[in-house]
Amino acid sequence: MSGTSLTEVAKAGGVSLATASRVLNPHNEHPVSDEVRARVLAAAASLNYSVNALARGLKVKRTRVFAAIVHDFRDPFFNTVARGVTNAAEAAGYLTVVCDSSRDPDKERRYVQLAQEQRVAGVLFVGGGLTSRSYREAMRQQIATLQSYGAHAIALEPRGSRMPAEIPDNRGGARRATDHLVELGHERIAFIDGPEQVLTSRERRRGYQDGLEAAGIALDERLVASGGFTEEGGRAALVRLLDAGVPFTAIFASNDAMAIGCMVELRARGLAIPHDMSLVGFDDIQTVRWFDPPLTTVRVPMEEIGAAGVARLLALLDADGGEPPGGRLVNVHPTELVVRASTAPPGRGKARS
């Protein structure tokens, strides 16, 4: 019922507990003769022994488990990054606890608490943090406790706290997307902003502004509307823009889900993409290529970022006891504009209201 213990293996192999441990434990210096080794291995196999990671973790004060906290599991951005994380972790012999916070800061806290109790070796915050003072304070606090028992925390999207991060070049990508529209001849470019209190939105919006500025186009606040990072959020924001009646010929949405929402609304209003309206998204999630027309967007190397996060964590863990690892605190991963069929030079021009 309760699994085979090392003690039983030792007994079956006719050796001491210590010897059995030395044979079965990968990281071990102590020499063991081949004959004894074989005996122990045989005993372990016949009892089909598997080490109790709890006991080991308790003893060595270090587990092989990470926790990844995402905002929403079903969002392709998050699950793709998470996939990069779990794959890289598995390759290193780590298990990953994946937590879906449902964008609820409180739930996020509970998850960090649970992860802490499990004494995970590291926590990866996949989603962008909030800008609010109280949130950042709570976060700082949590990271402190995590570190108090030797764990590390890292971010995969911008967060306020000064923690190691592997993040996409949101600002640069948004800048290039805007440049692209400008180069096509668009001058009145609407921006569908993400939630204002999320740092990721803020960065992307900066990129949009950079692009306008470089082109000498004045920012028109009436062409900016924000909403949740979802299809519904994007659609609702576009509805407001369209209904406001200020004309524009292109839309840059802060992420692909919002862009899809825009697509749906444009379709509903009989506006053709890209003939009547150009559309650009952000992230390059998988599905976006199946739409009609396939979406022009900014590719974020999601799996790579996940893997980089794990590599970073592993490095931090290795360095423990030694000197702190060199290198930058925040690594920025390049993003890339992917031009598909949803963008074109302005056609009929003005959007109907």
Q: Using CB under 8 A, list all residues that contact a copy of itself.
A: 1-3, 48, 50-55, 57-58, 61, 63, 65, 67, 72-74, 76, 79-80, 82-83, 86-87, 90, 93, 95-100, 102, 107, 110-111, 113-119, 145, 148-150, 231, 260-261, 263-264, 267, 286-287, 290-292
Return the one option of DNA, a copy of itself, none that residue 282 interacts with (CB less than 5 to 8 A, by type): none
Residue 191, beta-bridge partner list: 224, 252
Site string for DNA, 42-61 (x = CB under 7 A): -------x-xx--xx-xxxx
CA dist 242 and 253 (Å) reads: 14
Q: SS3 for 259?
A: helix
Enter the tokens of residue 77: 């951005």
Within the chain, how many helices (H) and strands (E) appear?
A: 12, 12
State residue 280 phi and psi, 5-degree precision.
-130, 140
In the complex, the smallest distance separating the C-beta of residue 289 from a copy of itself, rounded to whole angstroms, is: 9
**Closest CB to DNA among residues 60, 114:** 60
Distance separating alpha carbons of residues 253 and 225, to the nearest angstrom: 10
H-helix or E-strand containing 176? helix 170-183
Q: How far is the CB of 320 from DNA (least distance, A)?
A: 13
Least distance in Å: CB of 44 to DNA?
Answer: 10
Q: Do the bridges between strand 336-338 and strand 297-299 make them parallel or antiparallel, or are there none, so unpaired? A: antiparallel
318 near DNA, judged by CB under 7 A: no
**The amino acid at 183:** E
* Of the residues 30, 289, 348, 352, which one makes contact with DNA according to CB under 7 A: 30
Q: Are 224 and 191 in contact (CB under 8 A)?
A: yes
Please, which residue, 81 or 317, has the CB nearer to DNA?
Answer: 317
Q: Which residues bind DNA (CB under 7 A)?
A: 2-7, 15-19, 21-22, 24-25, 27-28, 30-33, 35-36, 49, 51-52, 55-56, 58-61
